[in-house]
A and B are shown apart, each in its own frame.
Chain A
Amino acid sequence: MSEKKGLYGIWLVVLGILILLGLYTALKLFIEGHGLFNTNDVILWSLPLGVYIFLALTSSGLTLLAGVPLVLKVKKYEPFAKRLVFLSIATLMGAFVAIGLELGSVQHMFWVFFSPNLSSPIWWLALIYSVELVVLIVKFWRMHKGDWHSSFSNTLGVISFLLAMIAPLMIGSIFGITESRVTYFGPMMSIYSLVLGLLSGTALFLLYSMIFHRVTGDGDVERQTSLYNEFTVIFAYIASIAVVFSLVKFAIESATTVPEFLIYHKFEHAFGAWQGFHFEVLLGLFLPFLLLLIPSVRRSVGGKTVTSGLILVGTLMMHMEILLAGQSHPVGPKAEQYPEFISYFPSIWEWLVFVFALAVMLLLYTLGERYLKLMEVPQ
C-alpha cells in the first residue's frame, strides 16, 4: 500500500516538473515568438497543431462513445459513461494547451469570439469546442451529483453528442475546402477526421482502462470482462472503417499523376514514411487491426493494451503525416526561397508543447480518478 502511495507521489512530482517545464516553454514562446519552432513559410503548421488535432478529435471520439449509454441509452455501458465524459474533458483541455501555444497567445484564443467570421471553419471549430467543453463540464457535474437522466442532464448529453459529431467534420473541412492544396481537398477529409477521432477515442479509453487496472489493481477489468471484450469488438469495427479509408486514400495517391501527390511520395520525414512505406499506417493501424481479428488477443488484457497503444500512437502519426505532406512543397513564388520539397523535424520547443499538453491531460486524469469516482453508475 505504502509502495503505491510512494509511486503516486513520484508520479505527481513528475507531472509537476513537466508542467513547470511547459509553463517555461509557454513563457519563452510568448516572449520570443514562433521562430523557436522548426517551421517556416512553407511548413506553417507543425507538431503543436498536429497534437491539437489529435487530442481534439480523440476528445470528440470519447464524447461520442459516452453518448452510447447517455444518449442512445444502452444502459449496460453506463459504468463507462462518467469516465468517458471526464476523459473527454481532460483530453480537450490538453488540446487547448496545444492550440494556445500554437497561436502563441492566450489572448488570441479569446479574440476569436469578438470578431466572428461565419464563413470560416476555424471560427466554427473554436466555437464548437468551447461550447462542447462547457457542456461537458456541466454534464459531468450533473452526473457527479447523481443527476444522470433528468431532462436537463439528457439535453446536455444530446448537445455534447451532436457537437462531438460536428467538430471532427469541421476540422476536416479546414483542410477540405483548401482548393489550392489538392492533397487535402475534398469532403473525404471530414469523414476521415470523424473516423480517426472515433478510433483514437476508443483506443485511448481502452488503453487508459487497461493501464489504470494494472497500476491500481482495482479489479474493475475482471468485474466487467464481458463489457470490455464487447467494447474491444466495437474498437475492431471502427479500426476496420479506418483501414478501408486508408486503403482508398493509398489507392488514390498511387494512381494519380497530380504533381502534389507525386511530391508526397518523395517526401519522407520523422512521422512514419520511410523508403516509400507508410510505417505509421502499417504499424499503427493495419498491424493492430489484424491482431484484433484474433479472438484471444481481443480478450486478453495484454492484447487490448498493445493494440490500443499502437493505434493511439499510429493515429497521431497519421495526423502528422497528412498535415505535413500537404505543406511539403512551396506555393507560388515561395519556390524562389525554398527547395522543391521540405523536410521537417520538430524543435525541442515543439516537443515541449507536446509534453505540456500531455502532462496537463495526465494530471487531470490522475486527479479525476482520485477524487471524482469515475466508475460510478446511477442509483
Chain B
Amino acid sequence: MSRYAMVIDLQRCVGCGSCSIACRNENNVPDGIYWSNKITETVGTFPNVRHHYIPTLCNHCEYAPCVRGCPTKAMHKLDNGITMHDPKKCIGCKYCEFNCPYGVIYFNWKEPHQFWKSNKVLLKGGTSSPQEEVEKIGAKKTPYFNPERGATLPASRPKGVVEKCTFCDHRVRKGLLPRCVEACPANARIFGDIKAPDSDVTKLLGKFRPFRLREQLGTNPHVFYVRDFNPAQYRPTKGGV
C-alpha cells in the first residue's frame, strides 16, 4: 500500500497563492476556512528586512494528535496515510482543532456558503443577487461548486463539524494529483508515494536536507519542505569588532 507524502520546494515557491485558490474551488471550501494556507514571516530590522513564506496544509501526520483525540473516530487514518474526516461521525467537539499543532483544522461555525443564498442586489435593476447568479448558472450552492468533491466527503460540509485538507483523496484514488499540486505554476509541490524508492518524493528527500513543521512534537508529519528561496548576495566578510 502506498504512503502518500508531499514535498514543497521553497526555492520554487513564489508565494502566488494558486494552491489556495485551486484548493478552495476543488473542495468547495467556505469563507473563513483555509485547507491550504501559508505562514508569512518578516525578519530583520528596517532597512535590512526579508519576507519568508511557507505554504501550509494538513501534514497527514503518522501519529496525528487529531486522530488520537477524536472521540468518535470521525478523524481517522486511511491505509495510504491520508488523515481523513467523516462529518457524519463528527460530534463538533473541536478537540481535533484544539489538539492540532499546525493550526490547519477549521470549524464550520455557520451554515457554509451563506453569501450565495442572499437575495440582496448591489444595484436594483442593474446587478443580480448572489442567489440569482447561482440559479442562472444552474449550479449548487456556489457558482463554482464542484460536485466531484462529494465522492468521498460531503461536497459541502454542514455547520457544526470541522473540516481540513484531505490530500484531495477523491482525486488521488482516481490516479490524479491533488489539485494544489496540479495548479502550482512553479512545480513547487511534489506529491507521491514515500515508500516507493523511485518516486520523485523519495528522490527529493534523499537529495536535500528536508525539514518539517514542529518536528520536535514527534507527530511525524508527511509534508516536507526542501531548500529556501533567497536570491540575496553579500560581500564576503569576517565581520568586525
Contacts and interface: CB of A to CB of B under 8 A. Distances in A.
Interface in B185-241: 213-214, 217-218
Determine the main DSSP class of B at the interface with A: loop
B100 A180 contact: yes
Given A41-B107, A103-B93, A335 B72 contact: no
A40 B101 contact: no
A109 B72 CA distance: 11
B75 to A, nearest CB: 9
Interface stretch (A30-38, A66-74, A217-225, A300-308): A30-38
B150 interface: no
B160 A179 contact: no
Contacts, number: 123
A179 B220 CA distance: 14
Contact of B101 (A35, A121, A180): A180
Interface string B144-179: 000000000000000110000000000000000000
A contact face: mostly helix, strand, loop, or mixed: loop
Interface stretch (A111-119, A288-296, A356-364): A111-119
Contact residues on B (Cβ < 8 Å of other chain), bracket: 35 or more
A108 B90 CA distance: 8
Contact of A105 (B38, B108, B160): B160
Interface of B: 32, 34, 37-40, 56, 65, 68-74, 89, 91-95, 97-104, 106-111, 159-160, 213-214, 217-218
B70 A120 contact: yes
A115 B70 CA distance: 10
Nearest to A122: B71
B177 to A, nearest CB: 22
A334 B98 CA distance: 12
Nearest to A332: B103
Interface in A16-48: 32-35, 37, 39-41, 44-45
A103 B92 contact: yes
Nearest to B94: A44
Interface residues of A, number: 42
A330 to B, nearest CB: 7
A333 B109 contact: no
B102 A331 contact: yes
A120 B76 CA distance: 12
A50 B11 CA distance: 45
A293 to B, nearest CB: 39
A337 B106 CA distance: 12
B101 A332 contact: yes
10 contacts: A34-B107, A35-B159, A37-B109, A41-B106, A41-B107, A44-B97, A103-B91, A108-B93, A112-B91, A116-B73
A104 interface: yes
B91 A179 contact: no
Nearest to B74: A115
A10 B217 CA distance: 57
